[in-house]
Amino acid sequence: MVVGDFAIDVDTVVVGGGPGGYVAAIRAAQLGQKVVLVEREKVGGVCLNVGCIPSKALISSSHRFQEAQDSEEMGVTVENVKLDFSKVQSFKDSVVQKLVGGVESLLKGNKVEVVHGEAYFSSNNSIKVAQENSSQTYEFKNAIIATGSRPIEIPGFKFGKRIIDSTGALNLEEKPEKLVVIGGGYIGTELGTAYANFGTQVTILEGTKDILGGFEKNMTQLVKRNLKKKDVDVVTQAMAKSAEETENGVVITYEDKKGDAHTIEADYVLVTVGRRPNTDEIGLEQIGVKMTDRGIIEVDKQSRTSVENIYAIGDIVPGLQLAHKASYEGKVAAEAIAGEKSEVDYIGMPAVCFTEPELASVGYNETQAKEEGLDYVTGRFPFAANGRALGLNKTDGFVKIVARKEDGLVIGAQIAGNGASDIISELSLAVETGMTLEDIALTIHAHPTLGEIPMEAAEAALGRPIHSM
């Protein structure tokens, strides 16, 4: 029986419950708005359920397994290290469940109504949410679209049992003996590294001249060196052509830079060549929301679309597809709806890759500063000269700070090394708040910590390093 559809009036509708949507919904509710959050599946979206969170749990488990086998130098020898992959998956799932439950509690505590179903815009003031046996219309004053993205499927590689996307790679029931990864970006390299730590024979096929194209070469060189130690075969300028599933595996055909064809047999092939915005089939064209040919929504500095009362955030708007970017934009959009003067400013937006070593960057790197014609200085300090890094036996990498020469204003920083994902926050704060090299150098950093490395890099940029020449 179909339930009658009587429109419900709300202040703000948020479409999509990922890291952008649920944050936007909570902030809007905090600012006094009556909010409905529409989510097709589970709150937390891709990031929490099948992306950032489960992948990092899997990566952490792979580190434990690898370190248990390789700590002789530190005086620890473990014999017969065993991998129970089902327990790895159980641990990963438990982390996800805890966080999903936490987000659900936060939404409830902030009086956000969560509705599960498929959303479709009927007009610029109404949306219909379809469920299995019913539908419900909501009349709204403002709406925030936060529908995220999905993996791109390439010709010759239709997703199936053996041809998988990142979600499939996170939910394998057993560790593959052989894995081919198509795409050497951050997702492919992270997951390829994790499975290599578990003992899988991994091949990465990348179409461009290098993997991890968003980072400087002196950073990616460290990652490639570690991949080589793990017997990961990285093939660049390789064009994936086709994949044929067999009873127990898959055969991948690719062409090298000379145009010669090669085949690889594997248990699975993981395709990570990018993500497509989820802006189709929700009625945006009908209400006049302007988009690019790729489905990216055009927005202003307050995340407002071409339709004045409709906002868009996250993977569906220009810029990097990052969970923390979506959350940031979600807060800005909710505050703009409430009449505040919030605007997006990406100058302090960090990017992180959980490879080995970890990579992180914020603001300008040296190449970009040079291309912009800026008069700059840099300071660099190696992990190998830091006491804490030596004690952890994690000495690969460095911190580099880029600053304006005239006044030492910090305009960017890059980190390759253990804990880069955590250390970058100090340097993001420095860029965001307009700190100088002096500010960082004069801040007392606890010893012995990895956190001292930015201080040492700042002193190097000032020309008066203590622990380096």
* CATH number of the domain where residue 396 is located: 3.30.390.30
Contact 188, 316 (CB under 8 A): no
Kindly state whether residues 95 and 52 are assigned to the same domain: yes
Grouping H, G, I as helix, E, B as strand and the rest as coil, residue 97 is: helix
Q: State the Cα–Cα distance between residues 329 and 304, nearest whole angstrom.
A: 10
In sign, the C-alpha dihedral spanning 24, 29, 34, 35 is positive
> Has 397 been labeled as part of a binding site?
no
Range of the domain at 265: 163-273
> Has 231 been labeled as part of a binding site?
no
Taking CB atoms within 8 Å and a gap of at least 24, the contacts of 364-369 are 364/402, 364/411, 364/412, 365/216, 365/402, 365/412, 365/414, 366/216, 366/400, 366/402, 367/216, 368/412, 369/402, 369/411, 369/412
Does some domain include residue 157?
A: no
Q: Is the peptide bond before 448 cis (omega within 30 degrees of 0)?
A: yes
Domain boundary among 237, 255, 273: 273
Which domain CATH number covers 171? Answer: 3.50.50.60
So which residues are the catalytic ones? 447
Q: How many domains does the chain have?
A: 3
Which among 213, 56, 307 has a CA at the least distance from the CA of 223?
A: 213
Kindly state whether residues 143 and 285 are assigned to the same domain: yes
In sequence order, what are the beta bridge partners of 235? 205
Beta-carbon contacts of residue 23 (< 8 Å; ≥ 6 apart)? 326, 327, 330, 331
Kindly state whether residues 123 and 178 are assigned to the same domain: no
Does some domain include residue 469?
A: no
Kindly state whether residues 369 and 407 are assigned to the same domain: yes
Helix (H) or strand (E) holding 46: helix 45-50
Q: Give the pairing type, strands 359-363 and 163-164.
A: unpaired
Q: Give the pairing type, strands 135-145 and 8-15.
A: parallel
pLDDT of amino acid 2: 45
pLDDT of amino acid 4: 54
**Residue 409 gets which letter from DSSP?**
B
CB neighbourhood size of 434 (10 A): 12
Please state the pTM of the whole predicted model.
Answer: 0.95
Does some domain include residue 199?
A: yes
> Has 434 been labeled as part of a binding site?
no
Kindly state whether residues 174 and 131 are assigned to the same domain: no
Kindly state whether residues 421 and 450 are assigned to the same domain: yes
Q: State the Cα–Cα distance between residues 97 and 89, nearest whole angstrom.
A: 12
Domain boundary among 292, 309, 344: 344
Kindly state whether residues 240 and 99 are assigned to the same domain: no
Q: Give the pairing type, strands 310-312 and 135-145.
A: parallel
Does some domain include residue 1?
A: no
Domain boundary among 318, 344, 370: 344
Residue-by-residue pLDDT tens, the chain, 469 positions: 344 568 999 999 999 999 999 999 999 999 999 999 999 999 999 999 999 999 999 999 999 999 999 999 999 999 999 999 999 999 999 999 999 999 999 999 999 999 999 999 999 999 999 998 899 999 999 999 999 999 999 999 999 999 999 999 999 999 999 999 999 999 999 999 999 999 999 999 999 999 999 999 999 999 999 999 999 999 999 999 999 999 889 999 999 999 999 999 999 999 999 999 999 999 999 999 999 999 999 999 999 999 999 999 999 999 999 999 999 999 999 999 999 999 999 999 999 999 999 999 999 999 999 999 999 999 999 999 999 999 999 999 999 999 999 999 999 999 999 999 999 999 999 999 999 999 999 999 999 999 999 999 999 999 999 999 8
CA torsion, points 226, 227, 230, 236, in degrees to nearest 10? -150
Does some domain include residue 369?
A: yes
> Has 463 been labeled as part of a binding site?
no
Helix 420-433 and helix 452-461: axis angle, to 10°? 50
- DSSP states along 193-208: HHHHHTT-EEEEEESS
> Has 184 been labeled as part of a binding site?
yes
Q: Mark out the alpha helices in 282-411 (DSSP H runs).
A: 323-337, 366-371, 387-392
Kindly state whether residues 31 and 146 are assigned to the same domain: yes
Q: State the Cα–Cα distance between residues 445 and 137, nearest whole angstrom.
A: 55
Which among 213, 317, 205, 210 has a CA at the least distance from the CA of 269?
A: 205
Kindly state whether residues 33 and 121 are assigned to the same domain: yes
In a 10 Å sphere around its CB, with 0-12 CB exposed, 13-18 middle and 19+ buried, how is residue 218 labelled?
middle
Does some domain include residue 155?
A: no
Q: State the Cα–Cα distance between residues 63 and 226, nearest whole angstrom.
A: 13
> Has 148 been labeled as part of a binding site?
yes
Helix (H) or strand (E) holding 161: none
Kindly state whether residues 198 and 130 are assigned to the same domain: no
Kindly state whether residues 13 and 146 are assigned to the same domain: yes
Does some domain include residue 14?
A: yes
CA 57 to chain centre: 14
Tokens of 314: 């996250």
Tokens of 42: 């589970």
Kindly state whether residues 195 and 314 are assigned to the same domain: no
In sequence order, what are the beta bridge partners of 38? 15, 115
Which among 444, 461, 454 has a CA at the least distance from the CA of 378?
A: 461
pLDDT of amino acid 469: 84
Contact 348, 322 (CB under 8 A): no
Helix (H) or strand (E) holding 11: strand 8-15
Does some domain include residue 112?
A: yes
> Has 189 been labeled as part of a binding site?
yes
